[in-house]
Amino acid sequence: MVVIEIDIIFDFVCAWCYIGKRSVESAIALYQKVYPGGKHDVFRINWRPYYLDYNTLGHSVDKSELAKTRLADWSEEKKAAATRRVEQAGRAVGIHFKHGGLIGPHTRDAHRLVHFSRSKSSETTTNILVEKILEAYHERERDISSLDVLGQIALEVGLEKIEVAQWLSSNAAVDNVNEEATVFREKVAGAGVPCYFIQGHYRLEGAQDANDFMEVFVKVKEEEEERRKQ
């Protein structure tokens, strides 16, 4: 058995991060299905925070209004092409993007909830939590800076209501998450997100497909097996 560790540096408001999550999962499923002995290998996914800080107004605003400001120098044709590209890539992995709803002033509390989940539940639950928050923002048009919304999502994945409410209403782990976000911003060195580090040294960036991840998984497997022979 080989343990393959994946650090995924991401932010919840990043559409390509949502697409990338699905691509990683497809690659893992493919590897475990077709690679000899792959079904016995274990994947560990670590969700690492990154702040895109799209909204600097200090309160939640309509996504479409913010887009007008952020993309003011884009032509309508360029905006439409970018939207089509994201939507097409999303549909290919089962995501149906919607562009309404609100975007909050930060995603810190969503990342704090992931931090909380890591200490209170299994890795599987944490992965489902990340999926649900991404889905809430990108497909259900919910404001994931709202503590009420985050609390509802936490309940959906089986986290304890009272513990979650106390955690979110406090400043628990704010410094930890902020520090981690700073560390990983420096680590991606301007490349942006999503960014993936596999087994600590293989790096992939942006819109990778399942085959790109699969290729790296095979390299890691072969390296680990060779190392054990030495």
What domains can you pick out in the chain, each with its CATH number?
3-229 (3.40.30.10)
Q: Which helix (H) or strand (E) holds 138?
A: helix 123-138
| 102 dihedral zone (left: phi>0; alpha: psi -120 to 50; beta) | beta
Rg from Cα positions in the chain? 18
Position 229 scores a pLDDT of: 83
> For residue 84, how far is the Cα from the chain centroid?
21
Q: Report the pLDDT averaged over residues 199-210.
A: 92
User: Does the predicted model carry a pTM greater than 0.75?
Assistant: yes
Contacts of 102 (CB under 8 A, 6+ apart): 60, 61, 62, 63, 143, 145
Residue 230 has pLDDT above 80, yes or no: no
pLDDT tens, position by position, 27-53 = 999 999 999 999 999 999 999 999 999
* Selection from 53, 164, 46 nearest residue 107 by Cα: 53
CA 82 to CA 108: how far, in whole Å?
26
| 78 dihedral zone (left: phi>0; alpha: psi -120 to 50; beta) | alpha
Residue 122 has pLDDT above 90, yes or no: no
pLDDT tens, position by position, 144-188 = 999 999 999 999 999 999 999 999 999 999 999 999 999 999 999
CB 196 within 8 Å of CB 23 = no
Between the alpha carbon of residue 3 and those of residues 39, 209, 224, the distances in Å are: 11, 21, 9
* One-letter identity of residue 26: S
CB 4 within 8 Å of CB 45 = no
